[in-house]
Amino acid sequence: MVELAQDRALPRARSSARDWLLPYLLSLPSLLVTIGILIPFGTAVYYSMERYNLAFPAGRQFIWFGNYISLFGDPGFWNTLQVSLLYTLLCVGIQLLLGLGIALLLVRRTWFNDVMSVLLILPLMVAPAIASLMWKLMTNPSFGILSYLLTLVGVERFPWASSPDTALFTVVLVDTWVYTPFITILLLAGLRALPKQPFEAAELDGVPQSFVFFRITLPMLMPYILTAGLFRMLEAIQQFDIIYAMTQGGPGDTLMVFQIQAYLSAFTYTNIGRSAAVLMVLWAITFLLSNLVIKRWLKLRERRHGNA
């Protein structure tokens, strides 16, 4: 080991032009493959400033911010914004609370808890689109087990995804089923990584449990909670699979979130310009969110590597 430690102090062996180029050569292929994807991004920005409807190819024309201006005057767009934000807030809020609760239940390492945390990953491994279809089977009005169970407690004909009043609830339920395990896994890792001393000291002093939770556990866990929440927010505001598989945005425009709205604009109404403009608005939101995520995440990375 002493020899190895000395080796590190030696200057890099045979440093040459090839060695200097090496990191670029190694990362270039990755970059090239993904840069092919950057070009369409540029194209999409351009589309969003065009009057571009596949049904009227002759009318194609560059109109600057025309699509955006008509979006902001369109109640359908404000509905989309509202539904997307509501969906995101409901999903992230419910899943953080539930995920934290479950992580706290599972934090002690008993064999039972270990088995449970393995089984809990399973919903996360189900494709969101498939999960939606599974819940569709369970909420079917004629044979769905959940519909049946509700009649046992006196709720007849609960409409699930088919009524504007309960559709949002239904898709948030599916989202919660799929993604809560993600939050649980992260928070469980966070809880188990917390230092032991503050908890031991609190126990010695006979500090009440609720005080320990709100004054020690929660503040120390906050970086993990924020990271998990931001990650989920970023995904939830872009949700497509669950809603598309459940109702394709319906009934009416109840579940018309950003990507569903953009999908229908492009593929049902062939209005490429409008679709691209809707997506650009979504992109602006996710760009802000993802910068927050990356910043937080880098901080955690640094802290970990600083400690190591």
Residues 130-149 close enough to bind other proteins by CB under 8 A: 130-131, 133-135, 137-138, 140, 142-143, 145, 148
**Contact positions with other proteins (CB under 8 A) in 17-56:** 19, 22-24, 26-27, 29-31, 33-34, 36-37, 39-41, 43-44, 47
Is residue 153 part of the contact set for other proteins (CB under 8 A)?
no
Say whether residue 182 binds other proteins (CB under 8 A). yes
**Neighbouring-strand partners of residue 61:** 51
When asked if residue 289 is in the footprint of other proteins (CB under 8 A), the reply is yes
Interacting positions 1-20 with other proteins (CB under 8 A): 3-5, 7-8, 10, 13, 19
Structure tokens at 111: 């064999």
Task: Work out whether 227 is an interface residue with other proteins (CB under 8 A).
Answer: yes
The yes or no reply on residue 301 touching other proteins (CB under 8 A) is yes
| Total residues in contact with other proteins, by rule CB under 8 A | 98
90 binds other proteins (CB under 8 A): no
Q: Between 31 and 218, name the residue whose CB sits nearer to other proteins.
A: 31
Per CB under 8 A, the list member of 83, 90, 91, 123 interacting with other proteins is 123
- Which of these, 216, 211, 225, lies nearest to 194 by C-alpha position? 216
Q: Does 228 bind other proteins (CB under 8 A)?
A: yes
x-marked contacts with other proteins along 249-278 as a string, rule CB under 8 A: ---------xx--xx--x-----x--xx--
107 lies in the binding site for other proteins (CB under 8 A): no
